[in-house]
Structure 1
């Protein structure tokens, strides 16, 4: 196991360098003057433009710019915005809220989605199965912003069960409804994926062997069926956690959440390439680490998997 983890960590290095380089090139290749609007309606003074160009190494080639940025990144420096704010401080201010929101969304989609998938997968076709299939199809068909506005109006404004908007403190209770909105689409996919995986594994050879040995039904279902069926679901949930951390722009906008999605959106509008690069690089690190953890959990769920 230790050798496998070390090998995977070494494999993450070229992946990290390659993805961050592509991100850096794509962000800074966006056409337009990055200093436009910094001097009001008047064009910026050439001396100011020259100073900013030298400060952010924009007179160098993209390869030199990237390796200078990578060197600072390895020291924990995510760069500085054109207005002089540290990108690391902006991320530290916004990222915890996005983590809270993503954790709530993944928890909701995991609990409800897996429970619905297990229920329909074990019972087979019937009223409950049709109800879950129709409900998940309904969630998949509706855009996230529509779901967000409906829940905000019904449960936030009409019934008053949850806050219609999120305060600057962004408590866990305030993030429950936005978390449900954010995870609703994935919840439908998790339910269908769990149902399909259970239905497929019910006909597997190891299930027939367990039945032939006369093992209790609870052990057959809990140990053999559910653990083997959980592997594709775990993969989906792990990758979805990274997606939700950076893809919550619409949900954060509806509920006024001061998260990382709004920071990315504002940075794109203001052409703050340093901020966009820093946030996306952090998301890449999260993706790589989450995928490593998921790979290690495979051996826990399936004893046949060994990392030698």
Structure 2
């Protein structure tokens, strides 16, 4: 196990540098004046543009800019935006809210989606199975912003169960409805994925053997069937955390959440490339670490999987 983890960590190094360089190149290769609008309606003076260009090394070749950025990043310095504010302060303010939102969405989609998938996988073609299939298809077809606006109006305006917008430092309870909105589509996919996996593994030889031995239904399902059927679901959940964090722009905008989604949007509009790169770099780390964690969970779910 130790050798496998070390090997995987070493593999993450070139992946990390390759993806971050590609992101850095794509962000800074976008045409346009990064200082447009920084001086109000009038054009910024040439002296200001020259000063800012030299300060942020924008006149250096792209590979040299990336090298300088990564050197500072490895020392814990994310740099500053064009207003002189430390990007690390922006990340500290925005990332915890988005992480809370993504974790709530992940928990909701795992709990509801997996439960629905297991129940329908064990009893296919019944009323519950048809109900889940229709409901999940409806959620998949419904855009996230429609789900968000409908739930915000019903729970926040019509029934006044929640506040239409959350606070600056929201609790997990405040994020239940936004989390459901964010994870609704993934929840539908997980329910369908778990249903298919359960139905397929239910006909496997090891399940038939467990039933023939006279094992209780709870043990057959919980130990033998569910553990093997969870592998594709765990794979989906592991990669979905980063996707939820990166795709929370609409949900954060509807419920007024001060997270990385709104921060990225504002940074793109104002051409704050350094902020966009820093946020995406942290998302890359989340993706890489979650993939490593998923791979390590495989052996716990399926004893047939060995790493050495």
TM-score by length of 2: 0.98
1:259 matched to which residue of 2?
259
Map of 1:164 onto structure 2: 164
Q: CA RMSD in A?
A: 0.9
**2:27 is aligned with 1:27:** yes
What's the CA shift for 1:161?
1.4
Q: Distance in 2 between matches of 1:227 and 1:280?
A: 33
Unaligned runs of 5+ in 1: none
Q: Note the alpha carbon deviations across 1:236-280, whole angstroms, 9 max, x for none.
A: 111111111111000000011111100000000000000000000
- SS of aligned partner of 1:190: helix
Instruction: Give the match for residue 185 of structure 2.
Output: 185
Partner of 2:236: 236
Q: Say yes or no: does 1:194 pair with 2:189.
A: no
- In structure 2, what is the Cα distance between the partners aligned to 1:43 and 1:114? 56
Q: Which runs of 4+ in 1 moved over 3 A?
A: none
Q: Provide the C-alpha distance between the structure 2 equivalents of 1:117 and 1:163, rounded to a whole number of angstroms.
A: 32
**Counterpart residue number, 2:227:** 227
Aligned to 2:207: 207
- Mapping 1:2-151, distance limit 5 Å: 2-151=2-151
Q: Distance in 2 between matches of 1:111 and 1:164?
A: 25
Aligned-partner Cα distance in 2 for 1:112–1:62: 46
Report deviation, 1:212.
Answer: 3.1
Q: Distance in 2 between matches of 1:43 and 1:161?
A: 49
- How many residue pairs get aligned? The number is 308
Match of 2:280 in 1: 280
Task: Report the Cα offset of residue 223 of structure 1.
Answer: 0.7
Q: More displaced, 140-149 or 167-176? A: 167-176
Q: Note the C-alpha offset of 1:215.
A: 2.6
How far 1:216 sits from its partner (Å)?
A: 2.7
Cα separation, 2, equivalents of 1:225 and 1:87:
47
